């Protein structure tokens, strides 16, 4: 098939590349000319394991190309994916201006039947707005062209997105016509060889499924953080509790790791947007409100532990931060706990030395003018004369450390383990003041 992807952000780039990988001819469209030039050279704007090689291979094989010409993109294929951003507004609602602008442009260019697929995460009812926008544009052109709108939400984990797309758990397809379903099912046939992964449903249910999935995962994280905070007050160890409840197959071990809160481009935005949708329909989504509130508070927990040890004034103190991205295997710092933690350290007069194996360039963009922020090339470099080490992201390289070297480099021997990757007894025996989450 010929496929057009409009938007070369995280979702669009991964989706387009993986569709090309199974033999389709994919044209990715973006209005950022310099980005398109970089992509045509195989230079990526994001870090995602395995993606760069796939982009270069499919560019070389002429199955993948990038352009700013949306008119050509509409003419190129029967299936058009809308994968542009839906940033949160101040009230928490998803901003659909980019999605609807693309829909209007599609209506300006289309001359024959098209399947318009909303791949962006959008509130329930967005596909109706996309359909109405295209229809109005066609009416203004006094043109009668048949088309279908499909909801096909993505379920990609940052850091494992290529694997998720090529070997999906499920492929949700929300349709209101057999014609569009057959086209979408044909497109995803290469991913169905082992067993049927396509789940057909109505469009609104498809749109809600995406939000419900992310809200459920966010709920598990906030619940465990709530129990971890309670465990500290009760003198229990949350790691024992985690293993005790995770062994129940009805609960499982996924997403029950306590820490310093979730971040990224999905969970915070989607929980807010779903809560906003509930309020618009006169429903008080109390669990969603609590999930968001617990997560916001959890990002301050590592700083509260520093205050517990040092007091409120951090003037003249240096803090080593290991991990800046919101999770391992990505450079994404959107809504990352590290940003809240560092802001609180600076507010109290402290200096930060930070290391992250991948998010270095992103951190430079955010903090290049901050004289209280220093990026280092190696994790142990951040420890020079540090009064405390804060583990914020659970990168694998932090799991097995040289405690003697850590102790030698630090001015004071305080470790705040925001991801519970160390054993408290081992750190205490080695002479550290250790603070975990719920330990």
What count of other Cβ atoms lies within 10 Å of the Cβ of residue 250?
5
Q: Nearest-5° angle of CA 198, CA 199, CA 205?
A: 140
pLDDT value at residue 91: 78
Among residues of the chain, what percentage have pLDDT more than 90? Answer: 95
% residues pLDDT > 70 (the chain): 100
Q: How many residues does the chain have?
A: 439
Counting Cβ atoms within 10 Å, is residue 215 exposed (0-12), middle (13-18) or buried (19+)?
buried
Phi and psi torsions of 143, nearest 5°: -125, 135
| C-alpha–C-alpha distance, residues 45 and 9, integer Å | 8
pLDDT computed for residue 194 by the predictor: 82
Please state, in angstroms and rounded to a whole number, the distance separating the CA atoms of residues 209 and 199: 11
Among candidate residues 18, 28, 260, 266, the one labeled active-site is 266
How confident is the model over 112-147, as pLDDT tens digits? 999 999 998 899 999 999 999 999 999 999 999 999
Confidence at residue 92, expressed as pLDDT on a 0 to 100 scale: 78
pLDDT exceeds 90 at position 311: yes
pLDDT in the model for residue 265: 85
Please tell me the distance from the alpha carbon of residue 59 to that of residue 363, in angstroms, as a whole number.
30
- Is residue 404 over pLDDT 80? yes
Provide the mean pLDDT of the chain: 96
28 is catalytic: no
Nearest to 383 by CA among 368, 366, 364, 398: 398
pLDDT digits (tens, 9 = 90+) for 43-73: 999 899 999 999 999 999 999 999 999 999 9
Whether 432 and 407 have beta carbons less than 8 Å apart is answered as yes
Helix (H) or strand (E) holding 391: strand 388-391
Q: Look at residue 90 in the predicted model and tell me its pLDDT.
A: 74
Helix (H, G, I), strand (E, B) or coil at 433: strand
108 pLDDT tier (thresholds 50, 70, 90): very high
The Cα 432–Cα 426 span in angstroms is: 9
Residue 167: pLDDT over 90:
yes
State the pLDDT at residue 431.
97
Q: What pTM, to 2 d.p., does this model score?
A: 0.92
């Amino acid at each position: 098939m010929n496929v057009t992807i409009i938007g070369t952000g995280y979702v669009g780039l991964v989706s387009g590349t993986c569709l090309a990988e199974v033999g389709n001819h994919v044209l990715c469209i973006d209005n950022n000319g310099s980005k398109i030039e970089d992509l045509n050279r195989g230079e990526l704007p994001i870090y995602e394991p395995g993606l760069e090689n796939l982009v270069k291979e499919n560019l070389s094989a002429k199955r993948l190309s990038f352009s700013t010409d949306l008119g050509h993109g509409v003419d190129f294929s029967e299936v058009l994916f809308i994968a542009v951003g839906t940033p949160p507004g101040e009230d928490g609602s998803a901003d659909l201006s980019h999605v609807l602008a693309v829909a209007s442009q599609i209506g300006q260019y289309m001359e024959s039947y098209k399947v318009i697929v909303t791949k962006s995460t959008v509130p329930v009812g967005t596909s109706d707005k996309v359909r109405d926008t295209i229809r109005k544009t066609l009416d203004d052109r006094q043109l009668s062209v048949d088309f279908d709108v499909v909801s096909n939400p993505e379920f990609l984990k940052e850091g494992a997105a290529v694997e998720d797309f090529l070997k999906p758990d499920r492929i949700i397809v929300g349709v209101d016509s057999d014609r569009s379903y057959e086209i979408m099912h044909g497109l995803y046939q290469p991913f169905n060889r082992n067993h049927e992964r396509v789940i057909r449903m109505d469009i609104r249910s498809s749109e809600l499924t995406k939000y419900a999935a992310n809200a459920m995962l966010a709920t598990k994280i906030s619940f465990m953080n709530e129990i971890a905070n309670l465990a500290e007050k009760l003198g229990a160890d949350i790691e024992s509790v985690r293993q005790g409840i995770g062994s129940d197959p009805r609960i499982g071990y996924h997403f029950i790791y306590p820490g310093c809160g979730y971040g990224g481009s999905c969970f915070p935005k989607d929980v807010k947007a779903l809560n906003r949708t509930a309020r618009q329909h006169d429903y008080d989504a109390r669990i969603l409100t609590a999930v968001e509130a617990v997560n916001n508070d959890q990002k301050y927990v590592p700083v509260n532990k520093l205050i517990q040890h040092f007091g409120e004034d951090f003037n003249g103190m240096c803090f080593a931060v290991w991990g800046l991205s919101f999770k391992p295997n990505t450079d994404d710092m959107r809504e990352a706990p590290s940003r809240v933690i560092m802001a609180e350290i600076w507010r109290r007069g402290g200096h930060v030395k930070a290391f992250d194996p991948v998010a270095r360039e992103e951190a430079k963009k955010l903090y290049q003018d901050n004289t209280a922020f220093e990026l280092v090339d190696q994790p142990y470099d951040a420890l020079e004369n540090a009064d405390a080490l804060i583990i914020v992201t659970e990168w694998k390289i932090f799991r097995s450390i040289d405690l003697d070297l850590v102790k030698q480099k630090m001015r004071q021997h305080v470790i705040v383990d925001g991801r519970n990757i160390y054993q408290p007894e081992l750190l205490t025996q080695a002479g550290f003041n250790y603070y975990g989450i719920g330990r």
